């Protein structure tokens, strides 16, 4: 399994290097085109580390409405996964921007939603890159465009780590977020 992952990651690295030498566009695993000015994580739609079953969570529901999420069988990815469900066409997020977002957060282990801005009826306002949110958000939302919806699969070390957030988030939990970017201020 480790050899298979190493071969896949090497092939991914070579593909990214080749893509950087030519056209500035690439296609992610979902067939969507993204520019390579984004980080390699964003440009591929994931880090190349999918779950042990090879699948990512599926998201249903309309942009602007609370999403429904289905977690696949198998273990979670070990690295941050970023996948645009719906690309926005507004301003692109940069570190230091003030954002207004809707979100829903789920535990990978049981698929339970632990929090959602849709439940309170209030979007969430914060500054990206200022440490006001978990590291997985600070890294995973940069490059997103206003009006878009994104899936983030966040490993424990970029979430709440060994301590978790009892009682809703167990220790060492992989987090899954669906985020809608309403406004870049």
Q: For residue range 18-62, what is the model confidence (pLDDT) as tens digits?
A: 334 333 333 333 333 333 233 333 333 444 344 445 699 999 999
Residue 177 lies in a domain: yes
What is the predicted pLDDT for the residue at 17? Answer: 32
Residue 5 lies in a domain: no
What is the predicted pLDDT for the residue at 54? Answer: 62
Q: Which tops the pLDDT comparison, 17 or 83?
A: 83
134 in Cβ contact with 160 (< 8 Å): yes
Residue 135 lies in a domain: yes
Average pLDDT over residues 127-149: 98
List, by residue number, the catalytic residues. Answer: 103, 114-115, 134, 160, 177
Give the CB-side neighbour count of residue 15, counting CA atoms within 13 A.
15
Q: Is the pLDDT of residue 116 over 50?
A: yes
Mean pLDDT of the chain: 79
What is the predicted pLDDT for the residue at 69? Answer: 96
Residue 131 lies in a domain: yes
Residue 123 lies in a domain: yes
Residue 31 lies in a domain: no
Q: Which domain holds residue 110?
A: 49-184
Q: Is the pLDDT of residue 15 over 80?
A: no
What is the predicted pLDDT for the residue at 111? Answer: 95
Residue 20 lies in a domain: no
Question: Where does residue 109 fall: left (phi above 0), alpha (psi -120 to 50 degrees), or beta otherwise?
Answer: alpha
25 beta partners = 35
pTM of the model: 0.74
CATH number at residue 89: 3.10.50.40
Residue 101 lies in a domain: yes
Q: Is the pLDDT of residue 102 over 90?
A: yes
Give me the number of domains the chain comprises. 1
Nearest C-alpha neighbor of 90 from the set 150, 147, 32: 147
Sign of CA dihedral 10, 12, 16, 19: positive
**Distance (Å, whole) CA 49 – CA 77:** 5
């Amino acid at each position: 399994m480790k050899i298979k992952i190493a071969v896949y990651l090497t092939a991914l690295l070579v593909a990214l290097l080749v893509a950087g030498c030519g056209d500035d566009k690439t296609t992610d695993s979902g067939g969507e085109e993204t520019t390579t000015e984004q980080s390699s994580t964003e440009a591929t739609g994931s880090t190349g580390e999918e779950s042990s079953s090879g699948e990512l969570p599926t998201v249903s529901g309309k942009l602007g409405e609370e999403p429904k999420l289905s977690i696949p069988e198998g273990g979670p990815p070990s690295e941050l996964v970023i996948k645009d469900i719906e690309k926005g066409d507004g301003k692109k997020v940069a570190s230091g921007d003030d954002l207004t977002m809707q979100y829903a957060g789920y535990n990978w282990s049981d698929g339970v939603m632990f929090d959602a801005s849709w439940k309170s009826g209030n979007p969430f306002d914060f500054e990206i890159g200022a440490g006001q949110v978990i590291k997985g958000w600070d890294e995973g939302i940069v490059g997103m465009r206003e009006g878009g919806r994104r899936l983030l699969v966040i490993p424990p070390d970029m979430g709440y780590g060994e301590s978790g957030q009892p009682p809703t988030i167990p220790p060492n939990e992989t987090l899954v977020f669906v985020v809608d970017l309403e406004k870049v201020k």
